[in-house]
Amino acid sequence: MSSKALVVIDIQNDITKLKSMGYSLEEIRDLWDDDQHFPTVESLVEKIRKCEDELAVLKERKRMLKAVVASQKKLHKMEKVYFESLPAITVASHRTIIPSFEDLGRLSCEVIGPEMARLGCECPEPGYCYTIEHGGYKPKDIDIEYCEMVTKKCADSALIKFKDIPAVPQAACLKVFGPYEKLYDNYVELFAYLEKEGYKIVGAPRAVYIDGIWNQEDPAKWLTIIQVPVEKA
């Protein structure tokens, strides 16, 4: 390769390097016109300052974009809130303390289910079961009451109590997909939405289990509906 060709390659490499450092073709041309093939220290420091300014702008833009995304997600979620009445039902109830929400599936499948079968409980199709968290949400040692709709009362046992649940004229409802640990954040957002819209909570919120560990291995596909008895304040 000729020396002239090597010089051309070197120039191309220099231009590519300068462009990657943020210099425009016009700025690079000025360097060549002034017989300077590389920027001065002052020029490089100025480029660093401009980079810092651009980073600050980008960080603020990122913050704003994330805020808008969060707002849109929240708005989209609240658009999914719907209202319906809940009929009076008879339920088989079991109240206990569970270490965490991970134990809810085991409680349903290994404790409550077998006991209800032993008592001869009959559940209507498609079925309706829910939990109430007494004392408010806690991540551990949860005081939970599991209720499942039955066609009629059977004899109470040490584990199962039967009771009649009155009708709810109006309940705010929100579908939640995913593991049960997500429920708390959805409760908080739903309560804030209801307060903003002028609703008053008039009964214990229910977490109604549609799909869970009993029919879906993937927790992301679990479906829970939050139902909150409300009335206009």
**pLDDT tens-digit profile of 188-202?**
889 989 998 899 999
**pLDDT tens-digit profile of 35-77?**
666 777 888 888 888 888 888 888 888 888 877 777 666 555 5
| Token pair recorded at residue 25 | 């073709």
Residue 173, pLDDT above cutoff 90: yes
Amino acid 38: pLDDT: 75
Residue 8, pLDDT above cutoff 80: no
**Letter for the amino acid at 189?**
E
Measure the N-to-C terminal CA separation of the chain; round to a whole number of Å.
87
Residue that the structure tokens 């002034």 belong to: 34
In angstroms, the CA 120 to CA 123 distance is 10
**Is residue 170 helix, strand or coil?**
strand
pLDDT category, 6, cuts 50, 70, 90?
very low
Query: Is this structure's pTM higher than 0.85?
Result: no
**pLDDT tens-digit profile of 179-230?**
888 888 888 889 989 998 899 999 999 999 998 877 888 988 999 999 999 9
Amino acid 131: pLDDT: 93
Amino acid 161: pLDDT: 97
Amino acid 108: pLDDT: 87
pLDDT category, 7, cuts 50, 70, 90?
very low
**pLDDT tens-digit profile of 67-119?**
777 766 655 555 689 999 999 999 999 999 999 887 888 888 899 999 999 99
CA distances from 123 to 2, 36, 90, 196, 223 (A): 90, 87, 10, 38, 20
Of 148 and 22, the structure prediction assigns the larger pLDDT to: 148
Cis amide prior to 205 (ω within 30 degrees)? no
**Run of H or E including 86:** strand 82-86
